Structure formats: C-alpha cells, structure tokens
Amino acid sequence: MLMLLAPRVGGGLWTNPLSASTAYNRAVSKKSGKPASTTIALNKRARHDYHLEQQFEAGLALQGWEVKSIRAGKAQLVDSYVLLRDGEAWLLGATITPLPSASTHVKADPQRTRKLLLHAREIAQLFSATHQKGYTCVATALYWKGNKVKCEIALAKGKKQHDKRASERERDWQREKQRLLKQR
C-alpha cells in the first residue's frame, strides 16, 4: 500500500493526510462501515399519486431552529407542494416540528412557507410546464448535501386509479420474483 505523507502545518513530524479526520470517515457510519444516510424525509405519497417526470435539486432558505429540528429528524413532506409565483418558488405544506428547547424569542411556525433556491432558467422551465402542459410540481425528498439541506422537487402528472393499481401490481410482482429467486 502506498502511503502519502504530508508535512504538518508549522513543520515537525510527517502525517498521513488520509487519517481518521477525512470527510470519508465522517460520512461513514461507525457500526456497519457503509455510507451514512443523507436522506432527511421522503414524500412516498407523491410517488404513489403522480408520474414523476423531471427532477430538480433546490436549496432551501431555513431559519436556525429549523436546521436544528431537521438534524433531530423532525421534518415531514407529506402533502407538500411547490408554488411558483412572481419568478420565485415556494415550498408549502412541509412540516418542520420545532424542538421544545427552541429559542424563546422566536415564534416557531411549523408549516411556514419556505423559499426554494433555484436558477432562473429552472424556475422558467417549471413555470412553463405547470401552466401549459398540465404538470404539477411536488417536493419528493429532503436530504443533506454537505452541510446544506436540499429539496428534490419533481414535475409530476397525476395518476388515474387504474394506473395506481397497475403500479402496485408491478411492485408486488417484483417483490414476489425476488422472493422466488432468493429461495433457489
């Protein structure tokens, strides 16, 4: 194995730059050795009710108490959607439950409207699709990217009842097929 050695700041002994404090080791869970999950919340109802066409990654403008609550796992995306107004995108219906130890001088609103941070061309693309082609825009996931919270949004078309049954049947068949292959 090739060891790369780099001098310490201020001179002195040589150290291994691939030591225990690297980003890789911080992102790997301690027990299993697998990468730690960065997913905060999923909107499974959106995948059930809609055909998801095109997906976008948006930043989220949050307050301090919201970031603390998200780190504690208190975020939900059920019944959330994206509103496009005045050239801006807003996340409505997402719930971030405040911690009991939240700041006393701030009135925490769990269902507050949060601004999504997207490029102007992405907002224009979303706006034209939702107004002309019959699409809607829904939030599908919240996740960490580095130390930032990102929201995955998707252009979606509503499913009919028979489409939902067909996708459920397909899912059941895939599950049964995996079960049969596992028994062999």
Mean pLDDT of the chain: 78
**Whether residue 118 has pLDDT greater than 80:** yes
Q: Tell me if residue 52 falls in helix, strand or coil.
A: strand
Mean pLDDT, residues 146-162 taken together: 85
Query: Cβ of 106: how many Cβ atoms within 10 Å?
Result: 11
Q: How far apart are CA 112 and CA 127, in angstroms?
A: 22
35-56 as b/e: b if 16+ CB within 10 A:
eeeeebbbbeebbeebeeeeeb
Which ranges of 11-89 does DSSP label H, i.e. alpha helix? 23-27, 44-49, 64-71
pTM of the model: 0.67
Mean pLDDT, residues 108-131 taken together: 90
What would the pLDDT profile of 13-44 be if each residue is shown by its tens digit?
Answer: 444 444 333 333 334 445 555 566 688 888 88
Mean pLDDT, residues 138-161 taken together: 88
What top-level class would CATH report for the domain 35-158?
A: mainly beta
Mean pLDDT, residues 141-167 taken together: 85
